[in-house]
Structure 1
């Protein structure tokens, strides 16, 4: 789309809106731009894409901000909007700097935002009139992007007139309200489709029919099509609208449609021949919700329905409706003889009337997740594997990576998943003769708007179908980096060193002759990267001294003394891990200066000097690799080691990785520390990508399968299921298991679960059974006395 790039902002905006409308009228769609995946979601809930008009307007706004404030707003992270010098290349006519001021900027922004808001309203009405989801999601993305941009400007304007800042906030509020309103319309559209088309089938919903549905060979079409629609819609939402909004829309769909289904099945009074269909549909529904629910939860406690008072209203509603379905299934689907056995002992002895114990999973969830809870009555302490599986399931179901939850999954339960991944990845990597070094220096922009260009937004080799030595190297580095930032000395010894020292010749990299070697193990590189950010000032200082005539001996002394000066700024994990390595190192290995700490320091500095490719820097690097020879620098080395020892004594040893299970705030702080660096961002991204694409293998290991083979899979598992599989399977479980007899339910055990049911509620469900409704049942069946006996038991109370 060709546009005028020079001239007054309002003139350009009017032309932009005109061209965008012409494009829509011609092609009945909205031209969209992809947003950089590195910023999608987050606290401001950035969209995955936005209309071309919105993206263009943001670029023009940033030029106006630069002209008015002579600095970048911080919203644009790329080459636009960073310095005042950008004005000569991005703004004005022919490179002439724009003349502007904050008041003029506020006026232009408010007017242009109102113009585009009106344009988005027109497109929204067109989308709703034609039920065009593509156009609707495009306008949602535009509103979300402009809302975030206006919020950023409101936080960064420095104008003495407070009303000017209020104008920006009012504009931002308009776009926020528009986005929320569009999300409601999107939810309403999906709910209408569900209620009017998906959940209607006259044949399978004919409960009073005296003929079995499909000869009792399958469940109804309604539940199956509802499951397929929910799965497809979830994928569409995850790939189009902002992640948090997608989650809210999907949770509303699940809650609203579940309301219809719960009322329908709890109030239905099926005939004898339709009772198996009724029971099968409810069991299928509970399994479907069990698979869909993790997408709208944030923890395993929410997933299991524990502590319902602290959960969101929608989650409480979903758990309550599923519990109602389970009650209906137990009282309608259990054999009449089972009811007689339970209630004939006395209603006061039946556990379903007892209140549910606090802090326990919802009974319906335990029923649906029968593979994780083999015994209905023992919920006091969940097995470690069960807690990990549930937490991992929630993590994998989110529309965007949840870094805090990923860290929690890795480190909880004594780092069980972390140790599994690290041990297996080191074992796989050792099979290769290559010891590749991960490339952290490449900073290549993606094609998305707002990309910062630091390389952390790029996918981690998503095109590869096989796991190579590079994959394993990156994974080992990433896992080591994470535990170094979060763990304590005990964690290093129990987790990191346990995996490292289990490999043959792990200590070779600490031989003093290997200090020159640039091919290093991944875990070794993660340790040296702890000090890498502090090396630049040391290099600058010593090279300046050499330029003014300092000898090589003096230069080495300056380096050692600089290490002493910066020691208190280093991450405490560096001192702890070097002490641990020193203790575990075999006596046959001699590191530089007989010190692992000095060996790592010189090794890291040598690598940085080599990158400079200057003769003076490389000469200094070679001299440092022999700094312990001839006892020339014994005093400086001893002073350095003493300083490290003193710092170690004053640093308190924390709880380490156990902190992730103690407090959510501490978990957020830990993950924020990791995300502060490019290495940390990449590390979490590598681990997230691997866990997501190899979740089947990981879940199998947690369940205790393949105990003899600890190897990682050599093929990336992408979990893309074909359409036919989605139609006839709930996850990996086929539909209608209860009808075909593959799901054997122990009904008596279910009556032993406390559910807090009232006797009136139970009796209402029981009397809806066909045996109680059929007047001919008592006289034609030998066990006809059961019906009046059960009725008399409830009428007596």
Structure 2
């Protein structure tokens, strides 16, 4: 059913006017995040946008869902034809595209007004949010153009052109404002730059305040860019600001002639600058290999390496003892530099830059060209450091960091999460633009992180005992066995390793639960003349549905992942005699846990059913869940035994 989009543009306009009125009074705006799982990608979706723009995008998405037939064949990517209603000049798709174009232009006008005021006031945060908003409008207009497959109109072309111009204009404003501010104010420090003074600067106990402010400012800019703008855009802006200001600092310190009393101050400043560069560089490289070797056009890392190395060489000449300098020049300075410096190639660096070796020779040993020549701990650390520093998840690099060097990264993380406290909560969708509720609902807690690591290991390692070898030692040391007792099926506050194994099994049980849901009537059985008759009838249905769950799992036992069965069998050997799992084995207990977690979640049942379940169905499924908590009463022993045998038969 197509939605009436005639009021979409006016609705968006009202929200924009309200936000503009509030901004004129408070000079503040509210940023609303985009769904975490929609960030980045091929279209470089931003992280957040103005609240009014984000709200407008959510309305666009609802209109799109209702305009396009939800029965579309998604596997083929074919959109159904929508007939043009009588008396209307446009089809629903064309009407939606027109409304989106109009409201998009309103959003751009609104972003322009706010950004002009923010630039005058020097408000970096609002400028970043405005840039992200313009980028989001451009992103969604291009997306709708591809989805709706409407002929390109003059208005759409004009709107996309305006978006591009707005994004470029805001990027230039942000770059010019931040670079000018750093040049004129933050990097200007007369007190600490009196290099000819015969007195030491603060008794040689601190470096220049201008360098400190540069470090703080660059860290703040990076955090704001990572929080608001799109990944590629934020990386480009940060790289431009950083390389520009670094060039100024290198030029300045190359020309300084400090007095003998200010030499310690000069050395402290140079080391501080190199340390700041080393801390910022992982945010600007796509791979940790670029910390060791890089070619021109691959990354901004090459000019940064060149500038930092030049600063170190100049500082070495200025600060080294005179007898060492004389010895080097006696042997030939050009030959010494060529031996220890870069190859004669202006377009690449083939081995560890000298300035990184100078800062940390154990982490950046001399003459190495890639991570494979480093120790295990150094290689894993640099890989995960690069992952954590990037503006968006680098999934191939995450997997590489977890699985490299005999799973060292995985072992370290799991060791810290085995006994981590935290309650397993369902979480709520972010309700931002392009929200994917089934993905963004799980909260970021130790349990979900542990489950994600276990999922990566199971999917990416073609070796059955791998998961067991990683989880087993930590489980044995933790001694948290209570959740594996048959009387604790109801307790969803499980240790992270228990939660992870249940999550790995859950996809195997949803089909069985869906079959049972089809048998559950929308309403409870009709009330008979005597209450005892209703109780008997309900008991009969509950027993039948519980039995259907157990017998159904016998048929799909081969769909339970073999690494999980192997890990469960290993854990079963660790159990003390006081712990008795359901069915007499950990693997059966885990499967029943997965059943109970699915049955006990109304959101999961809504997704498994053809339509949202009724209150009556929910009440009956709660009763089925209670039956699963008391399988040890002896009525289902034979079925549990058969299910255990079917699982272990693999």
Please say whether Structure 1 and Structure 2 have the same fold, judged by a TM-score greater than 0.5: yes
Residue of structure 1 aligned with 2:553, choices 543, 563, 571: 563
CA distance in 2 between partners of 1:102 and 1:425 (Å)? 49
Relative to structure 1, is the Cα distance of residues 23 and 609 closer, same or farther in structure 2, using a 3 angstrom cutoff?
A: closer
**Which residue among 493, 500, 508 is the counterpart of 1:526?**
500
SS at match of 2:477: coil
Does the C-alpha gap of structure 1 residues 72 and 155 become closer, same or farther in structure 2, counting only changes over 3 Å? farther
CA distance in 2, matches of 1:426, 1:542: 35
Q: Secondary structure at the match of 1:144?
A: helix
Q: In structure 1, what is the equivalent of residue 428 of structure 2?
A: 444
Q: Are 2:493 and 1:495 aligned?
A: no
Among candidates 42, 47, 63, match of residue 40 of structure 2: 42
Q: Which of 205, 209, 223 does residue 211 from structure 2 map onto?
A: 223
Deviation string 1:448-500 (CA, Å, 9 cap, x unpaired) is 5665555846865xxxxxxxxxx766666565555445454342233211111
Contact preservation (8 Å) 2:588, 2:643: no
* Separation in 2, partners of 1:31, 1:263: 39
Q: Find the residue that maps to 1:34 and give its secondary structure.
A: strand
Match in the other structure for 1:614: 620
- Name the SS for the 1:529 alignment partner: helix
The match for 1:604 among 583, 594, 597 is 594
What is aligned with 1:51? 50
- Are the aligned partners of 1:40 and 1:46 in contact in 2 as well (CA < 8 Å)? yes
Q: Distance in 1 between matches of 2:147 and 2:122?
A: 39
Q: Relative to structure 2, which stretch is displaced further, 324-333 or 489-498?
A: 489-498
Task: Report whether the alignment pairs 1:102 with 2:109.
Answer: no
User: C-alpha offsets along residues 747-770 of structure 1, whole Å, 9 cap, x if unaligned?
Assistant: xxxxxxxxxxxxxxxxxxxxxxxx
Q: For the structure 1 residues 334 and 13, does the alpha-carbon distance in structure 2 shift closer, same or farther, using more than 3 Å as the test?
A: same
Contact kept in structure 1, 2:55 and 2:433, CA below 8 Å = no
Question: Which residue is 1:139 aligned to?
Answer: 130
Contact 1:110-1:167 at 8 Å conserved across structures: yes
Listed as ranges, the matches of 1:168-179 within 5 Å are 168=156, 171-172=159-160, 174-179=162-167
Higher relative CO (CA 8 A, sep ≥ 6), structure 1 or 2? 1
Aligned match of 1:779: none
1:556–1:623: 8 Å Cα contact kept in structure 2?
no
Which of 136, 140, 143 does residue 149 from structure 1 map onto?
Answer: 140
Matches of 1:398 and 1:140, distance apart in 2: 19
CA distance in 1, matches of 2:258, 2:562: 68
Which residue of structure 2 aligns with residue 260 of structure 1? Answer: 248
Q: How far apart, in 2, do the equivalents of 1:128 and 1:428 lie? A: 46
Counterparts of 1:316 and 1:497, CA distance in 2: 44
More displaced, 324-333 or 414-423?
Answer: 414-423
Q: In structure 2, what is the equivalent of residue 366 of structure 1?
A: 357
Deviations 1:631-671 (A, max 9, x none): 67877765x347x52xxxxxxxxxxxxxxxxxxxxxxxxxx
Secondary structure of the residue aligned to 2:373 is coil
Cα distance in 2 between the residues matched to 1:338 and 1:118: 64
Residue number in structure 2 paired with 1:687: none
Q: How far apart are residue 292 of structure 1 and its match?
A: 2.5
Task: Note if contact 1:593-1:628 (Cα within 8 Å) is conserved in structure 2.
Answer: no
Q: Specify the alignment match of 1:541 in structure 2.
A: 515
Instruction: Report the Cα offset of residue 17 of structure 1.
Output: 5.8
Q: Distance in 2 between matches of 1:554 and 1:457?
A: 32
Equivalenced residue count is 589
Q: 1:564 and 1:173, CA in 2 relative to 1: closer, same or farther beyond 3 A?
A: farther
1:306 aligns with 2:290: no
Instruction: Answer whether contact 1:204 1:213 (CA < 8 A) is retained.
Output: no
**Change in 2 beyond 3 A, CA 1:414/1:101:** same
Q: 1:400 to 1:624 in 2, by over 3 A?
A: same
Conservation of the 8 A alpha-carbon contact between 1:299 and 1:394:
yes
- Could you tell me whether the CA contact under 8 Å between 2:37 and 2:436 is conserved in 1? no
Deviation at 1:67, TM superposition (A): 6.5
Distance 2:62 2:624 in 1: 41
More displaced 10-residue stretch of structure 1: 336-345 or 286-295: 336-345
CA contact (8 A) 2:5 2:96 kept: no
The match for 1:686 is: none
CA shift, 1:318, in A, is: 0.6
* Contact map agreement 2:292 2:352 (CA 8 A) in 1: yes
Consecutive unaligned residues of structure 1, counting only runs of 5 or more, are 74-96, 430-435, 461-470, 646-797
Q: Give the secondary-structure state (helix, strand or coil) at the position aligned to 1:311.
A: coil
CA distance in 2, matches of 1:620, 1:45: 49
For the residue of structure 2 that corresponds to 1:614, the secondary structure is: helix
SS at match of 2:138: helix
RMSD across aligned positions (CA): 4.6
Q: Distance in 2 between matches of 1:608 and 1:580?
A: 25
User: How far is the alpha carbon of 1:143 from its aligned partner?
Assistant: 0.6
Residue 321 (structure 1) shift: 0.4
**Is the Cα–Cα contact under 8 Å of residues 451 and 501 in structure 2 kept in the other structure?**
no
Q: Deviation per CA, 1:287-312, whole angstroms, max 9, x where unpaired?
A: 2212232332333323x242345731
Distance between the aligned counterparts of 2:189 and 2:643, measured in 1?
A: 85
Q: After TM superposition, list the pairs within 5 Å mapping 1:180-259 onto structure 2.
A: 180-201=168-189, 205=193, 209=196, 211=198, 214=201, 217=204, 219-259=207-247
- The answer to whether the Cα contact below 8 Å between 1:543 and 1:617 also exists between their aligned partners in 2 is no
Please state how far the C-alpha of 1:411 moved relative to its aligned partner: 4.0
Alignment partners' CA distance in 2, 1:137 and 1:72: 39
8 Å contact kept, 2:243–2:304: yes
Query: Structure 2: any 5+ residue segments left out of the alignment?
Result: 73-87, 344-348, 526-536, 602-617
Task: Rate the CA distance shift 1:118–1:204 in 2: closer, same or farther, 3 A.
Answer: same
Deviations 1:530-553 (A, max 9, x none): 232343432353576799999999
